[in-house]
Amino acid sequence: MALRSTDVLTQTPQGLYCPLGDFHIDPVRPVKRALITHGHSDHARSGHNAVLATGETLRIMDVRYGEDFAGRKQEAPLGESMRLGDVSVRFTPAGHVLGSAQISIEAGGTRVVVSGDYKRAEDPTCLPYELVPCDVFITEATFGLPVFRHPDARAEIRKLLESVALFPERTHILGAYALGKAQRVMALLREEGYDRPIHLHGAMERLTEFYKSEGISLGATPKVMASERSKLAGAIVICPPSSMQDLWSRRFPDPVTCFASGWMRVRARARQKGVELPLVISDHSDWDDLCRTIRETGAGEVWVTHGQEDALVHWCTTHGIKARPLHMLGYGDEGEAEDAPQSGGEA
Amino acid sequence: MNRFAALLDRLAYEPRRNAKLRLIMDYFRHTPDPERGYALAAMTHALMFKEAKPGLIRGLAEERTDPELFRMSYHYVGDLAETVALIWPAPGHESVAPASPETPPIGHNNPPPHVPTLTEVVETLATTSKSDLPAKVAGWLDALDETGRWALLKLITRELRVGVSARLAKTAVAQLGGIEPDEVELIWHGLEAPYEDLFAWVEGRGPKPESGNPAPFRPPMLSHPLEEEDFEKLDAADFLAEWKWDGIRLQAVSGHDSHGRPVRRIYSRTGEDVSRAFPDLVEALNFEGAIDGELLIVRDGLVQSFNVLQQRLNRKAVTPKLIAEFPAHLRVYDVLTEGAEDLRDLPFAERRKRLEALVARLGDPRIDLSPMVPFRTWEDLAAARANPASAGAGPDADAIEGCMVKRASSPYLPGRPKGYWYKWKRDPYLVDAVMMYGQRGHGKRSSFYSDYTFGVWREGPNGEELVPVGKAYHGFTDEELVKLDRYVRNHTVKRFGPVREVEYGKDRGLVLEVAFEGLQRSTRHKSGVAMRFPRISRIRWDKPAAEADRIETLEKILERGEKEIHPLKEQET
């Protein structure tokens, strides 16, 4: 007899839990054994007894929390099945950020895929998303409304470069999340032929150095010194979104405030943050890719973890797919306390 | 269309005037005729087509999308055109379409839709019938991307709203060729989209276009505020004075076209043709020439307040009832041309004589002279300004916001030349209010909390409370801004996006002395009053919040009208 999906995976206050394998996935509180999809701080927290994740994700956690962030660390090789209790587990690239993975769990002929955060768009800084057919697909819905369609990220980068050419006496200050988005933007700038130094806010430095140590070339990325801020006319400076318009940004010459985020698709969002050059670049799936991915997995049942759950659940239902929202708390707030949009930060 | 859309997109987010100018010039430089000319027409509101109604756009979207998904999306985005631009599905696009078997998917071997140019859009709109419009618009939406669709929808609904005035767009054209914007202004009303002759001229490829307009707009002459230290330098004998009326500055021009038919136009200060809003005044322009004056509402010979005038403005339909209730009146200051004669090089004193003769000949009660205010010394004028009612203005004193002081020898020069005309405004009202919220500014001020909402005390249901009465974002120096910004950051109690609520109460809070020009009743404000031109005149670091003013102080100003010149100042000293 085939197992019910809830035998394979259930929801607990700590997060998603697999009773047959006795582990949690991306738990928001310390647990005995955690499987972690990717290194963003809302998914990868410290303090678990044992952590299983890709090598890159473990090293990102080392950088962020120090090497003793968990009692035991185990690397999950991509594409290889592992036995955990009564289930078989496999990590597959999710295309979200460096090291990000989907986790599939199989037991008794039922396969459940926890996709974590994922995108289908191309990204020079991480492995591309790989489709895993399954019975139950667990998806995020950060951009789960049909108004969110991400354009080609390269065209957005060209917008930035055109602005730099038109306003050579001003500093372009670009807000980008410190893990993933910032490095993707740097890599795209290089691919578009920008070869001048890309200046970094101090908070960007460690993770950018880490990306470089993983073999991703980002060119010269000097840290901005307080004394030289006023001399950076014509430069591109990348900082965390919370610093875009804070006291830190004041010393730059007549800055142009830029922000790379999927939220920038909606004008009121961009305006509310005082952004002058919004760049719609996201590390999440847009609406079309959420729908396409659900279809392609062939899943008969979809659980929506966080984001704009209602619209995606509505779409699934009208397309003959069983779906339910999990309304999970604690996701979508990676470290952007002050200026995070109300319904989620990491985007 | 894509380049134009990209320009509008950038302009919509850019707060700085000079940066906007540069963006527009860059677009003009890199866009061929006639495309750029239609863009100029769009930015100067000169495009002639019937605008599409929101209903049409909503209808198109509802045909293509699942109603529930559309509802959730509109709720989230909050703007209809933007929602439709973002949600618009390509033909056969399954992830948004209603899940109905009746919508057959469109084959993939259709050729990709043709991306329209702005020129095509404008030319098609001018000739398409109302019934064909939806299909046309749908076809364009299919071909454009999100930004293109947004720009198209804003264009066809005539709701561009990207913070560009007609004047700014004309300035951008002028600067292409290093020409003064006023030169473009002078020939503007004889030109038509797509302005190929204008671009040829500013780029040095063609002759200056003739102004074929029999009733052209001429840029008005503006004044500088009179500062305390100016009096020592200025000799009262060189100047004439008149009242500064609290209305809307207009230019009324009357001429004849080549067939001898009368052409009469009324322009705003910025050159916008507003004739259609004032048919009663157009009718009265029985002269040949151009005059400069103030639009007022006059009932039974009495000038009404600006609040009354506002009720005549911004109405879509100008009905006979509106005209009867709010009769438009022009109180004239100056004459620019008469017949074929350009009077602008004459001294003001001589133009004034010509103006007096012209108004006398007209003999129309809807057009009268702004009376001169006689004075010998600056002290005389100060007395008149402090009490216009007894200095000749009589009951019209309510509609006076100070004096205009004009050099008798001044020619009529476009723009704001130095040394000729001065405005000496009445002292503002002052009120001590408590800061309640700070909001981040824009552009250069985006890292500062520079917009302050302030309140005064009132008796609420739970005792004494502060009620917000206004918001101000200027009046302070850059050094004061740094201090105010720090104050907001250090006294924040709550955050709402870009807004911070600060500490306030009887025993804490920062008192701001707010200056303002007037008050009106408002149902949109919790306090029931709205201020005109509020600004921070002083920061009262020393004053306890409990001693700030009460709502009754504002109520009294409302009740008194604007009869007294500076009631609060007197009270305080």
Chain B residues closer than 8 Å to A242 by CB: none
Tell me what the mean pLDDT of segment B254-263 comes to: 87
Quick: pLDDT tens for B72-92: 999 999 889 999 999 998 766
Quick: pLDDT tens for B471-493: 999 999 989 999 999 999 999 99
Structure tokens at A246: 């804070």
CB contact, 8 Å: A151 with chain B?
A: yes
Query: Computed from CA positions of residues B245, B249, B250, B251, in that sequence, does the dihedral angle turn out positive or negative?
Result: positive
pLDDT of residue B93: 67
pLDDT of residue B111: 63
pLDDT of residue A341: 35
Chain A residues closer than 8 Å to B23 by CB: 166
Provide the pairing of β-strand B289-299 with B529-532: unpaired
Residues sharing a CB contact under 8 Å with residue A39, sequence separation 6 or more, in sequence order:
A56, A57, A60, A61, A64, A97, A98, A99, A100, A179
Is the pLDDT at A189 greater than 80? The verdict is yes
CB contact, 8 Å: A231 with chain B?
A: no
User: What is the C-alpha separation between B503 and B491, in angstroms, rounded?
Assistant: 6
Quick: pLDDT tens for A68-96: 999 999 999 999 999 999 999 999 999 99
Read off the pLDDT band of B568 (50, 70, 90): very low
Q: Under an 8 A CB cutoff, do B96 and A287 touch?
A: yes
Q: Under an 8 A CB cutoff, do B77 and A268 touch?
A: yes
State how far residue B26 is from chain A, nearest Cα, in angstroms.
Answer: 8
pLDDT of residue A274: 85
Query: Computed from CA positions of residues A306, A329, A62, A47, in that sequence, does the dihedral angle turn out positive or negative?
Result: negative
Read off the pLDDT band of B100 (50, 70, 90): low
pLDDT of residue A345: 37
Which residue of chain A is at minimal alpha-carbon distance from B12? Answer: A276
pLDDT of residue B524: 77
How many angstroms separate the Cα of B516 from the Cα of each of A11, B529, B537, B539, B546? 59, 12, 9, 15, 21
Locate the DSSP E strands across chain A: 10-12, 15-18, 23-25, 33-35, 50-53, 72-75, 81-84, 87-93, 101-107, 110-114, 136-141, 172-175, 198-200, 236-239, 256-260, 277-279, 301-307, 322-325
Is the pLDDT at A54 greater than 60? The verdict is yes
The catalytically annotated residue of B50, B244, B353, B494 is: B244
CB contact, 8 Å: B446 with chain A?
A: yes
Chain A residues closer than 8 Å to B21 by CB: none
Q: Under an 8 A CB cutoff, do B95 and A254 touch?
A: no
Provide the pairing of β-strand B492-496 with B499-502: antiparallel
Identify which of A293, A279, A323, A124 has the alpha carbon closest to the alpha carbon of residue A215: A124
Residues sharing a CB contact under 8 Å with residue B414, sequence separation 6 or more, in sequence order:
B182, B185, B218, B219, B220, B221
- CB < 8 Å from B in window 16-55 of A: none
Residues sharing a CB contact under 8 Å with residue B101, sequence separation 6 or more, in sequence order:
none
Quick: pLDDT tens for B155-203: 998 888 898 988 999 999 999 999 999 889 888 877 899 999 999 999 9
Share of chain A above pLDDT 70, in %: 95
Tell me what the mean pLDDT of segment B208-221 comes to: 85
CB contact, 8 Å: A147 with chain B?
A: yes
CB contact, 8 Å: B73 with chain A?
A: yes
State how far residue B154 is from chain A, nearest Cα, in angstroms.
Answer: 13
Quick: pLDDT tens for B433-464: 999 999 988 777 878 899 999 999 999 888 99
CB contact, 8 Å: A152 with chain B?
A: no
User: What is the C-alpha separation between A160 and A156, in angstroms, rounded?
Assistant: 7
Q: Under an 8 A CB cutoff, do B73 and A311 touch?
A: yes
CB contact, 8 Å: A314 with chain B?
A: yes
Which residue of chain B is at minimal alpha-carbon distance from A317? Answer: B99
Please answer whether residues B168 and B17 qualify as being in contact, where contact means their C-beta atoms are separated by less than 8 angstroms.
yes
CB contact, 8 Å: B466 with chain A?
A: no
Tell me what the mean pLDDT of segment B277-285 comes to: 94
Q: Report chain A's mean pLDDT, rounded to a whole number.
A: 92
Burial of B134 (0-12, 13-18, 19+ CB in 10 A): middle
Read off the pLDDT band of A148 (50, 70, 90): very high
User: What is the C-alpha separation between A44 and A1, in angstroms, rounded?
Assistant: 35
Which of B6, B76, B440 shows the shortest C-beta gap to A274? B440
Q: Report chain B's mean pLDDT, rounded to a whole number.
A: 88
State how far residue B453 is from chain A, nearest Cα, in angstroms.
Answer: 17
CA contacts within 13 A on the Cβ side of A128: 5
State how far residue B76 is from chain A, nearest Cα, in angstroms.
Answer: 9
Q: Is B494 a catalytic residue?
A: no
Global ipTM: 0.91
Which of A254, A267, A287 shows the shortest C-beta gap to B82? A267
> Angle between the B80-87 and B67-77 helix axes, to the nearest 10 degrees?
130
Residue that has been written with the tokens 């819905």 in this structure: A141
Read off the pLDDT band of B110 (50, 70, 90): low
SS3 labels along B260-321: CCEEEEEEECCCCECHHHCHHHHCCCCCCEEEEEEEEEEECCEECCHHHHHCCCCCCCCCHH
Is the pLDDT at A196 greater than 80? The verdict is yes
User: What is the C-alpha separation between A93 and B29, in angstroms, rounded?
Assistant: 46
Phi, psi of B246 (to 5 degrees): -90, 75
pLDDT of residue B92: 62
Tell me what the mean pLDDT of segment B371-381 comes to: 93
Share of chain B above pLDDT 90, in %: 61
State how far residue A147 is from chain B, nearest Cα, in angstroms.
Answer: 5
SS3 labels along B491-531: CEEEEECCEEEECCECCECCEEEEEECEEEECCCCCCCEEE
Q: Under an 8 A CB cutoff, do B79 and A338 touch?
A: no
Q: Which residues pair with B535 in a beta bridge?
A: B515
Read off the pLDDT band of B109 (50, 70, 90): low
pLDDT of residue A272: 82
Please answer whether residues B435 and B504 qualify as being in contact, where contact means their C-beta atoms are separated by less than 8 angstroms.
yes
Which residue of chain A is at minimal alpha-carbon distance from B439? Answer: A272
Tell me what the mean pLDDT of segment A5-13 comes to: 89
Which of A245, A288, A314 shows the shortest C-beta gap to B69? A314
Structure tokens at A332: 């979508």
pLDDT of residue A199: 97
